[in-house]
Structures are given as C-alpha cells and as structure tokens.
Structure 1
Amino acid sequence: MPEHAMNQVPPYEFYTQKRWENWLGRARESGFQIKESEEAGKESAVFVNMVDDVILSCLKVTARFEKALLSKEKALKILEEIRDIVLSEVEPISEDIDLMIDSVQTSLMGALVAFECYFMGNYEEGSNIEELIIIAIEAEALDDLELALDYTAQCGAIVLKGQSLPEEVMAELPDGIVAEWLDGIDSISAAMVGSDSYKEFDEDDGEDA
C-alpha cells in the first residue's frame, strides 16, 4: 500500500484515555471499602479487571511486535502513550478506593516496565527468574528502587518469552513495592495462559505503518 494511502487510515487505538476514565468511573460507582466480606470481593473485581484490560492492550502490541507488524520504536511509543494514560495522577475518590487505584497503578508499573524491557531486548532469555526476584527484593531492602525495578522488568520480559513465575517464591514474597510490581507481571502471565485471542485481531486494518 502506498505510504500516502496508509497515512489516511485512522490509527488503531490500543488503549485510550476514555477507556481508562470509564474504569475509574466503575471504581467510583463500586463504593469499594476495605473489609473482610464476600461483598468486598465482588466490589474489588473492578480493580483486577482494570489491570487485566491494560495488560491485554499491551499484549496486542506485543503480538504485532512479534510478527514484525510494529517496529521496536513504534511499539515503545504506543507503550509510552498507554503509560501516560494509566499512570497519571487520579483525582481522589475515597480513601479506600484511592488506595486500590494506587495499588493498581503500582502493579501496572511492573507490567509496563516488563513490556518495555521485552521490546528493548534488555534481558537474558536463559536467566533464572527466581534469582532475579531475589536480587530485586535485596535491592528494595537497600532502597535502590531503580535497580529493583530493572530486575523486576527482566523477570517480566522472560515471562513474556514463555517462562513462569516460581510459585514458591511468589507465595513467600515480603510485602513491598517489588511484590506489587510482580503482581503486575503475574497478571501478564495469567492473561497469556487465559487466552491467546490477543494474538489474532484486526490483522488487515493496515494501520501500523
């Protein structure tokens, strides 16, 4: 297709501001309160779904990147646009909902750096995930969050290559930001196992030039 013709095709939007705001609206309407009850589980589902929706959008980018339908630069640019939407400051709703949205954004940070690391190729495919997690936790204990995030990102990139997070290590994670980042990566793993429909979508809409 000639370049001028391809430029006339409206770009596919992997994720939008409106979509994020719709999720924030659902969170507001949930009336969520932190409590131990069956009802709380139903109310909290919206926050899990918020994370999953963003991750599925990123997996659609990944699928196109892997098929060489998107360049590394284009994939990173789309990822940056998604990050700008979902990690932007959210207007306060209520103390409990604000805490949950903060947790959502922290988990998404872990997921987004994993996708970035994967697109950049800044990881060793044969690395031991368990060792990377241990180093990340040790870095957090030393308040070196940049290093902790880097090793968490490598874990996520390896998960995107098909490895699994070690269940025993995940079950024994100390509370902290690395644990929340790894929650985001765990959500990537669950989404990849749950369905691979993200790999086949609108293949002929021709917008990735």
Structure 2
Amino acid sequence: MPEQEMNQVPPYEFYTQKRWGNWLERAKESGFQIKESEEEAGKESAVFVNMVDDVILACLKVTARFEKGMLSREKALEILAEIRDIVLAEVEPISEDIDLMIESVQTSLMGALVAFESYIMGDYDEEANIEELIKLAIEAEASDNLELALDYTAQCGALVLKGKSLPEEVMADLPYGIVAEWLDGIDSISAAMVGSDSYKEFEEGDEEDII
C-alpha cells in the first residue's frame, strides 16, 4: 500500500483520554489498600492489571495494522506517542496506596511502550538473546544508567512481539527494581499475545470493548 494511502485510512481511536480517565475512576472506586488481606487485595488490585492489559491491547492493534501495511511506520509511531502521552501523564493524587499502584502501572507501561516503539522502528537484533539482554539491562540499572537499561528492555520487548518468549527462570529471579517493573510490562505483552489474537482482526467501527 503506497505511503499516501496508508495515511488516508479513516481515523480509528485506538485509545483515548476518556478511556484512561474511566480506568482511573475505577481505580479510585476500588478503594484499594495494600494492607488488606491477600484475598481482598487480589480482588481489588485486578483493576490495575486490567488497566495495563487494556493499553497493551490498544498498542497490539496498532502493531497489527502496521504489520498489515494499513499504517505507515510514521503513523504507527505517532499513535503510540499519543497513547504514551495519555497513560504516562501525571495523575492527580487519589490515596497513598492507589497512587503507588498507578505509579507501578505507569512504570510497567513505560516498558511496554518502548518495546512497541522499538519493534515498529525495527530497532533491535532478531538474533539477540533475550536472557542476555535482561542481564545487560539489570547491570545497566545497577550502574545507574537507566537510559541504557530501558534500551535493553525495549529490545527484549521487540523480540517478544516478534514471537520469542521471556525466560521463565530469569523472570522469576529478577532483582527488585525498575527493570523488573519494565519487564512486567513486557510480560503483559506476552500474556496478551498468547491469550488472544482478536486484536489482529477488528473493524473501524468496533466499539464492543469501549468502557
């Protein structure tokens, strides 16, 4: 499909400010408290997992259309940037515990978003070893080089989007830190891709999943 035709595709709202605002409202209504019983905390924390999954599904729809030639690289990156601006914007304080969870959600989404960007830009080596990239990311974080750590994380995510798997043993033994949270976002991409491929087939007028 010629470049000019790609960019003439009728507008489809992959993600909106209203949608994010609805999730924030759900988070507020959950009354989540970290000190609740494990069972109750698990039930109330589901909203935060769903927040992440919803954004990732929107990004997967972008990559699916890019892969089909329905979006140019430039347009796909532009849409991802719009999603990034929405979900990583500063959020008005709600409560200490909910604020911590939203901050964690945004950190995970940062890892996911750079992965999508890296994949669409083709800014990764298809033959690279994910386990080695994770190790390099952790080492970069330990050296306070977060920019480099994020770059390695992005490459991990691009490989996952290409069809590779995250090494379970390495993921289970990740040291606590920002790389671990970024990789949570990558893990969410992997889970979404395994869970369903419905994001590959959708119509311009689809509204069944609008919240």
> Do they superpose with TM above 0.5?
yes
Which residue in the other structure is 1:48 paired with? 49
Could you list the runs of 5+ residues in structure 2 that have no partner in the other structure?
207-211
- 1:49-128 map, 5 Å: 49-128=50-129
Q: Tell me the CA shift for residue 204 of structure 1.
A: 8.8
Per-residue CA deviation, residues 88-109 of structure 1 (Å, 9 max, x unaligned), is: 0000000000000000000000
| Count of residue pairs the alignment pairs up | 201
Q: Tell me the CA shift for residue 10 of structure 1.
A: 5.5
Q: Do the aligned residues in 1 keep the contact of 2:12 with 2:204 (CA within 8 Å)? A: no
Could you list the runs of 5+ residues in structure 1 that have no partner in the other structure?
none
Instruction: List structure 1 runs of 4+ shifted beyond 2 angstroms.
Output: none
Partners in 1 of 2:104 and 2:83 — Cα distance? Answer: 17
C-alpha spacing 1:93/1:128, structure 2 compared with 1 (3 Å): same
Per-residue CA deviation, residues 172-208 of structure 1 (Å, 9 max, x unaligned), is: 0000000000000000000000000000001699xxx
Which residue in the other structure is 2:148 paired with? 147
Q: Tell me the CA shift for residue 144 of structure 1.
A: 0.1
Partners in 2 of 1:31 and 1:203 — Cα distance? Answer: 35
Report the RMSD for the aligned CA atoms in angstroms. 1.8
Partners in 1 of 2:66 and 2:205 — Cα distance? Answer: 15
Q: Tell me the CA shift for residue 75 of structure 1.
A: 0.2
Partners in 1 of 2:41 and 2:115 — Cα distance? Answer: 30
SS in 2 for 1:92: coil
Partners in 1 of 2:115 and 2:87 — Cα distance? Answer: 15
Which residue in the other structure is 1:32 paired with? 32
TM-score (norm 1): 0.93
Partners in 2 of 1:90 and 1:10 — Cα distance? Answer: 31
Partners in 2 of 1:190 and 1:144 — Cα distance? Answer: 28
Partners in 1 of 2:22 and 2:174 — Cα distance? Answer: 32
Partners in 1 of 2:123 and 2:84 — Cα distance? Answer: 19
Q: Tell me the CA shift for residue 37 of structure 1.
A: 2.2
Give, as a single letter, the amino acid of the residue that structure 2 aligns with 1:11. Answer: P
Partners in 2 of 1:125 and 1:203 — Cα distance? Answer: 32
